[in-house]
Amino acid sequence: MRSDMYSLNGKKVLITGGTGSFGNQVVDTLLTQPDVKEIIIFSRDEKKQFDMRNRLSNPKLKFVIGDVRDRETVFKVMKNVDYVFHAAALKQVPTCEFFPLEAVKTNVLGTSNVLDAAEENSVSKVVVLSTDKAVYPINVMGMTKALLEKIMLAKARLCQSGTVFCGVRYGNVMFSRGSVLPLFLEQIQRNQELTVTDPTMTRFLLPLPEAIDLVLYALAEGKNGNILVRKSPASTIQHLAEAMIEIFNHKKGIRVIGIREGEKKHETLVSVEELMRAEDFEKYYRIKNLEQVNYDRFFTDGAYKDFPTEGYTSENTRRLSYEEIKDLILSIKEIRSISG
């Protein structure tokens, strides 16, 4: 996939949750395009905005303090915007488990506010960011992300303004905030054991630049109601921890703590049911959904004969070798800067 297949000439881009890992990386990428008119960073953390403003010091950036839960503010910030990346979310599984209504307010109602505002202001395209945890969800974070996808699909079918609504779905983004690699690094720096839930647990591994590439590809090629899924290799948590131990020559080893509430042993990026209507490309799947409200097709008519034997999961995807895991970890600049 290529991230140069779209034009930002004279365009205004809005990024909700724009000070997170995704926001920082995608802004760096967008600023390489000289013709982009303006990039609006919409988030609620003034300290992160302050740090980002100082790091980039670019007149094309506009920082707006606000929360996607605040419908009035979202409608105001959306005026004259061409493209929207909707990344604002509560993403920590334990936090969402303890405070499920807060997750609903941000991930579900906040998403509804963003999509309604985009339709009202005739935004050209909205790309919403989802996760493998939205497939067969067992925790609140996954459930609310699944609803985010359904809200986007409903909006795609009903929208009258011409706005294109689509989404992307990917697995663990390496070294994103709250992921396991920063935890392992912190434990190494504190000279502690690395805590592993289940050594055989598998997770998709996706470097952040590849996640950005998928989102920019969706901006260029995503059709109304599409969900684009980046194919990714996987690793066991055990091998990921062992690779970190070797890279840093860590002596404390690993401690198995057991599977925590709300965790799966393996994650799914595309369900069995979705594979029936998905297009399979070299590096991604395009999940196509009903493009309009068609009650006959939904309630009484079918289009598919057989279920695939299995979905696309972290158990059956390509398993990274130990050397590949180390190479992937060392491709992260934060790791390289510390490991030497």
Residues near 204 by beta carbon (within 8 Å), at least 6 away in sequence: 132, 170, 171, 172, 232, 233, 234, 267, 269, 314, 317
The answer to whether 333 is a known catalytic residue is no
Q: E strand or H helix at 281, and its extent?
A: none
Q: What is the DSSP letter of 222?
A: P
Rounded Cα distance between 328 and 282, Å, is 20
**Concatenated DSSP letters of 105-162:** IIIIIHHHHHHHHHHHTT-SEEEEEEEGGGSS--SHHHHHHHHHHHHHHHHHHH--S-
Q: Taking Cα atoms as reference points, which of 130, 49, 125 lies closest to residue 40? A: 49
Exactly one of 11, 12, 125, 133 is catalytic; name it: 133
Hey, which bits of the chain come out as E strands?
12-16, 38-43, 61-65, 83-86, 125-131, 164-170, 172-173, 194-196, 202-206, 227-230, 234-236, 254-256, 268-270, 278-280, 284-287, 312-313
Quick check: 216 and 228 in contact, CB under 8 A?
A: no
Q: Which residue has the tokens 């919403």?
A: 128
Token pair recorded at residue 95: 């936090």
Q: What is the DSSP letter of 285?
A: E
Q: Which residue has the tokens 């013709």?
A: 35
Cα 271 to chain centroid, rounded: 17
Rounded Cα distance between 99 and 76, Å, is 28
By CB atoms closer than 10 A (0-12, 13-18, 19+), residue 7 is: exposed
Tell me the catalytic residues. Answer: 133
